[in-house]
């Protein structure tokens, strides 16, 4: 299987929106918690929070909002800005993959059958 990963760099801020941030936003939306989203990705809460703060500074707006505990237990959800960023990122990703479909298929067909697999580093 051949996959295309898109990372959008925002200059001059140095910030980026890529597959990791998109997944973090998705998981916050699904799980209703930054802590749970971070855990699902194998990252610390602090790192997740710093990434979210970075994207909020880049777009000068809140991408997640927290509701303090209580009877319903509180939680975190995406703001309209967070949802829009995720939607736009996924659209860019989808369009790029469709545009490069033929070239990706050609590249995939050129891979040697016995080519060594590169293992991704995983955090303990």
Record the pTM: 0.81
- What six digits make up the tokens of 123? 């955090």
pLDDT of 86 higher than 90? yes
pLDDT of 124 higher than 50? no
Out of 6-15, 17-26, 113-122, the most confident range is 17-26
The span from the CA of 90 to the CA of 96, in Å, is 10
The span from the CA of 66 to the CA of 69, in Å, is 9
- Tell how far CA 73 is from the center of its chain: 26
The span from the CA of 26 to the CA of 90, in Å, is 11
What domains are there in the chain, each with its CATH number?
8-107 (1.10.10.10)
Q: Report the SS3 class of residue 63.
A: coil
């Amino acid at each position: 299987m051949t996959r295309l990963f898109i990372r959008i760099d925002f200059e001059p801020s140095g910030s980026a929106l890529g597959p990791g941030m998109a997944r973090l936003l998705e998981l916050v939306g699904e799980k209703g918690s930054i802590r749970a989203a971070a855990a699902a990705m194998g990252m610390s809460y602090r790192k997740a929070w710093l990434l979210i703060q970075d994207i909020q500074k880049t777009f000068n707006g809140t991408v997640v909002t927290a509701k303090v505990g209580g009877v319903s237990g509180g939680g975190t959800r995406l703001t309209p800005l967070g949802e829009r960023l995720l939607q736009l990122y996924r659209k860019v990703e989808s369009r790029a993959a469709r545009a490069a479909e033929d070239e990706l298929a050609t590249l995939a067909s050129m891979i040697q059958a016995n080519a060594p697999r590169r293992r991704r580093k995983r955090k303990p």
